[in-house]
Amino acid sequence: MPIYNQLSQNLNEIHDQMRAACGRSGRSPSDVRLIAVTKYAEWPWVEALSSLHQAFGENRPQQLAERQVLLPQIEWHLIGQLQRNKVKLALQHACVIHSIDSLRLLERVAAVATELQIRPRVLLEANLSQEAAKSGFHAEGLRRDWSQIVSFSKAVQIDGFMTMAAESHDPEEARPVFRSLRMLRDELQQTAASRNAGLDLCELSMGMSGDFIPAIEEGATIVRIGSRIFSGLGTF
């Protein structure tokens, strides 16, 4: 099948499943956005996809920057770990950074944003799956440092949270992680610090190819899907 047709078919199937998950949980399909994760996609696939979809995600700042210059009409989201020395590059090319995983990084992003005279949109990456290897804020850290985190919202727009569940063959295993992120968001949204700063933690970026259905049922507003979109095209 030609690349365009395969991508179009895959996207249609994903959108059908997203709509069905919204229906089951009483949500509007317009409340959930799909970010097409292109990190493993060959360039001709990315180009073909750009006539079908508007929002792409990359996990490396360098590749995001290179591709953003070639497809500037696309909204590019940085979803992978950000080193402090790549912050400027990321801010110059990404429309949202999903992967603010420490106070140190938030501080650095705020400083560079001030220097560039921009107020970028960011999400805080939470590690709620008890996996030591994963990066991100733990729930206790978010609660403990919340007023300090909120103080950076003068320089950056904190729109909500991102998380990744542990890999598993059973998507239901991810559901408790997604549910606890939504509940933690609700809790932090209610704090005096959030209300005083006028914070609106409206975004929950959660759900990938293997677990986006429970993520939507638990309140995801952004799902990040890669391999499912490109399946049938190559070595996935």
Q: Which of 38, 59, 127, 153 binds ligand PLP (CB under 6 A)?
A: 59
Minimum Å distance from CB 134 to ligand PLP? Answer: 10
Check binding of 174 to ligand PLP (CB under 6 A): no
Look up residue 140 and give its two tokens.
Answer: 């206790």
Check binding of 181 to ligand PLP (CB under 6 A): no
Given 3-state DSSP classes, what are the helix, strand and coil percentages for the chain, each rounded to the nearest 5? 50, 15, 35
User: Measuring CA to CA, which residue among 175, 106, 208, 188 is closest to residue 139?
Assistant: 188
Query: Which DSSP string do the residues of 65-88 spell out, in sequence order?
Result: HHHHHH-TTSEEEE-S---GGGHH
Check binding of 27 to ligand PLP (CB under 6 A): no
Check binding of 38 to ligand PLP (CB under 6 A): no
Check binding of 225 to ligand PLP (CB under 6 A): yes
Site for ligand PLP in 99-158 (CB under 6 A): none
Check binding of 164 to ligand PLP (CB under 6 A): yes
Check binding of 82 to ligand PLP (CB under 6 A): no
Residue nearest to ligand PLP (CB): 226
* HSE (side-chain half, CA atoms, 13 Å) at 5: 2
Which residue's CB is nearer to ligand PLP, number 79 or number 181?
A: 79
Minimum Å distance from CB 108 to ligand PLP? Answer: 20
CA distance 139 to 180: 9
CA distance 197 to 154: 8
- Binding site residues, ligand PLP, CB under 6 A: 37, 39, 59, 79-80, 164, 208-210, 224-228
